[in-house]
Structure 1
Amino acid sequence: MSRASHICLMATYNEWMNAKIYAAARGLSDEELSADRKAFFGSILGTLNHLVIGDRVWLKRFANHPTNHSALEPIRHLPTPESLSQLLFSNIQELSAHREWLDQIIVEWSRSMTESDLDHTLNYTSMKGIPADRSFYGLVMHFFNHQTHHRGQVTTLLSQAGVDVGDTDLVALVPW
């Protein structure tokens, strides 16, 4: 599997898992979603907001890639989050709608990716204001790994709330 094909697979997995997690989360009350569960970002809602923030931050950076992927055009105009723990959306309905929109953009962007796109170095500034230069492919892999990491936390929080998300393994989508 090529790197570009792997990115498409990860985008599809991301969209699939987010749909499963949000469907499970919508079965909980606002109080259950906002309850401090002593996770990195407090609550289920806080962790899901963090994932959206992380995605927006990275997608805005990726929008500066030399190939100027048109799929990321809507992202360029979004405000940059103030912090990684900012609560962008206080209810699951609005957060879910934004998540679906982001996931559609991520899938479209992944489908436009070429092998040569992945060979670039991306220049960006961290949330702390530190300039950085990194392998674009490595950053894209970090982007998807970050999502998987925090979705794993959310599935644990949902499980503690009595909700089973079901199968979460990437292998379910790996081609034969």
Structure 2
Amino acid sequence: MSKIIMTKQYFKELAAFNEWANTLACGWIDQLTDEQWNRTVVSSFTSIRDTVLHMISAENAWVERFQKRSEVRWLQTAFEGSKAAHVALWKQTSAAFQTFIEGFDEALLYTPLDFKRQNGEAHSIPYYQLFAHVVNHATYHRGQLVTLLRQVGFTGVQSTDLMGFYRLAQQRTESSSE
């Protein structure tokens, strides 16, 4: 595989997109009844709550790996918080990912991070690939979340597509230059 040229700016944009899209999703979650939040609706996970908790758990685990924490918490096995606590934790985790990217040394993008998966398998993958994975993983599950929300009768969703994020950024730039 030929070397792909990546920049910190690109990942800053992706992290900002991820936080924006997750914040939109948190707004939807805030509007759900507890029954909708916990209702069995099968996709990759058995409910909206379980899907959201998986997303938070994965993003948090990556942030902790990036920070070289010796023990990575897998929140999915232990977190029992309320819906509001899930939303707060999701916003906090997305902000932590964005903060990590903003402070990351661009010279290290191609440096592999040694880590272990939850099952103990050891891996070594360049940061740029892991950063892309974190955003892609969240995008994948946000798509599932939209379907799950519609299945429980919530229709107040909107696009969390990357192009939508870029269009909004362009509109803000154009209106600030007027």
Q: Do Structure 1 and Structure 2 share a fold, with TM-score over 0.5?
A: yes
Going from structure 1 to structure 2, the CA distance change for 1:79 and 1:112 (only over 3 Å counts) comes to: closer
- The alignment yields a C-alpha RMSD, in angstroms, of 2.1
**What one-letter code is carried by the residue in structure 2 that aligns with 1:63?**
Q
Deviations along 1:80-134, one digit per CA (max 9) or x if unpaired, are 127xx53624421001111121122122112112331202011111111111111
**Structure 1, gaps ≥5 residues long:** 65-75
2:35 maps to which residue? 31
Deviations along 1:31-85, one digit per CA (max 9) or x if unpaired, are 1111110121111111000011101211111112xxxxxxxxxxx4886127xx5
Separation in 2, partners of 1:129, 1:78: 12
Q: TM-score, normalised by structure 1?
A: 0.83
**What one-letter code is carried by the residue in structure 2 that aligns with 1:170?**
L
Does residue 1:172 correspond to 2:164, yes or no? yes
Number of matched pairs: 163
**Structure 2, gaps ≥5 residues long:** 171-178
8 Å CA contact 2:38–2:48 kept in 1: the answer is yes
8 Å CA contact 1:49–1:86 kept in 2: the answer is no
**What one-letter code is carried by the residue in structure 1 that aligns with 2:73?**
T
8 Å CA contact 1:13–1:170 kept in 2: the answer is yes
Going from structure 1 to structure 2, the CA distance change for 1:90 and 1:163 (only over 3 Å counts) comes to: farther
Separation in 2, partners of 1:103, 1:62: 14
Considering only CA atoms, is the larger Rg found in Structure 1 or Structure 2?
2
Q: TM-score, normalised by structure 2?
A: 0.82
1:93 maps to which residue? 84
